[in-house]
Amino acid sequence: MLRFAAVGIDHGHIFDHVNGLLGEGAEFAGYCPETSVPALMEQFRKTYPDAKPLDRDAIFADQSIDVICTAAIPRDRAGIAIRAMQAGKDVMVDKPGVTTSEQLEEVKGTVERTGRIFSVCFSERLCVPSAVMAGKLVAEGAIGRVVQTLGMGPHRKSLFSRPDWFFTPEAYGGIINDIASHQVDQFLFYTGSEKGEVVASSVGNFGTPQSPAFQDFGEVLLRSSKASGYIRVDWFTPDGLPTWGDGRLTILGTEGYIELRKYIDIAGREGKDHLFLADKSGVRYTDCSEEPLEYFAAFVKDVRDRTETAMPQRHVFEVCRLALDAQAKAAVIASNPQD
């Protein structure tokens, strides 16, 4: 039986990792209680009351632990992953997996030397049933050849619940590298592109004057030999919306298009995971809320069989590279919200 531990409980995505692995029959060996968000740790303890708090060094030294999950402060994720891989463990990392190009090269080198798995759990595709269904439809040719993806990732700031590192670009990696890595992953996946390039990108601080270095808006234009992609991410979800963000994805094909309303159908149907498909036969709607997730079962298989069915390693590295490149090249279009 696969055994896993959690090291770095600083973001709520750690619950996706733990729940996903538990759902595939893995054993939760324990967790390191170090955190920058005490309220999150308290929620974690209540959610998994039988899990054991363990010393971090002891976790890495325990040869019976196969996998380390981490949703640490973004700047610390690469270091935790490298240490885990050097200790003979595979790794499941929250996005962004890295915050600098230097970290990416160090992770690549460690993967090559150790043969371990460095998997970034891009939850907006891998943990969203409608996104899983969209992948199946695209693979079946339901909309023909994919021409473009248009991904939007709005988020609510929730300022009073955020730790200090949330407002420091060096810590979270910038809005494009942090949030838009989701949409970069989706662009490569749905267009079937192994590589891409950044055509243009921009960032800004339009509405957070108390934190001048913070970025609350970002956009990216991507291109590959197969398709193009546009991404918009922001921290402007209004308080009146009954969810943290109206995340959407449109996949344009030569014979139709798919739109996902992942978390809410605003002023429409109840619930999440709404998929709309338009083609020559008409328009149809699918409630994808019961569509099973596949990533965690595939990851467990990969750990056991040393395969890459959950996510090719080259895909992970290319998403990281593109997100870092877009962040580094971004033009600043608003830097003083008080102007």
Residue with tokens 């963000």: 245
Better-scored residue on pLDDT, 7 or 210? 7
pLDDT for 266-282, tens place per residue?
989 999 999 999 999 99
Model confidence at 337, in pLDDT bands (50, 70, 90)?
low
Predicted confidence (pLDDT) at residue 335 exceeds the cutoff of 90: no
Model confidence at 339, in pLDDT bands (50, 70, 90)?
low
pLDDT for 32-41, tens place per residue?
999 999 999 9
Model confidence at 161, in pLDDT bands (50, 70, 90)?
confident
The mean pLDDT value for 171-200 works out to 98
248-253 sheet: strands from edge to edge: 282-287, 274-279, 256-261, 248-253, 146-154, 228-234, 217-223, 197-204, 331-334
8, 63, 65: which is closest to 35 by C-alpha?
8
pLDDT of residue 327: 98
Better-scored residue on pLDDT, 338 or 26? 26
pLDDT of residue 159: 84
Mean pLDDT over each residue of the chain, to the nearest integer: 96
Beta strands 228-234; 146-154: pairing state: parallel
pLDDT of residue 311: 95
* Torsion angle of the four alpha carbons 299, 301, 304, 309, in this order, in degrees rounded to the nearest 10: -70
pLDDT for 123-157, tens place per residue?
999 999 999 999 999 999 999 999 999 999 999 99
Question: What tokens were used for 314?
Answer: 């080259």
Q: What percent of the chain has pLDDT over 90?
A: 96
Task: Write down the CATH number for the domain with range 3-121.
Answer: 3.40.50.720
271, 293, 272, 289: which is closest to 22 by C-alpha?
293
Q: What percent of the chain has pLDDT over 70?
A: 99
pLDDT of residue 123: 97
Domain boundaries, the chain: 3-121, 125-293+326-334
The mean pLDDT value for 312-339 works out to 91
Task: Write down the CATH number for the domain with range 125-293+326-334.
Answer: 3.30.360.10
pLDDT of residue 160: 83
pLDDT of residue 338: 58
132, 150, 115, 180: which is closest to 310 by C-alpha?
132
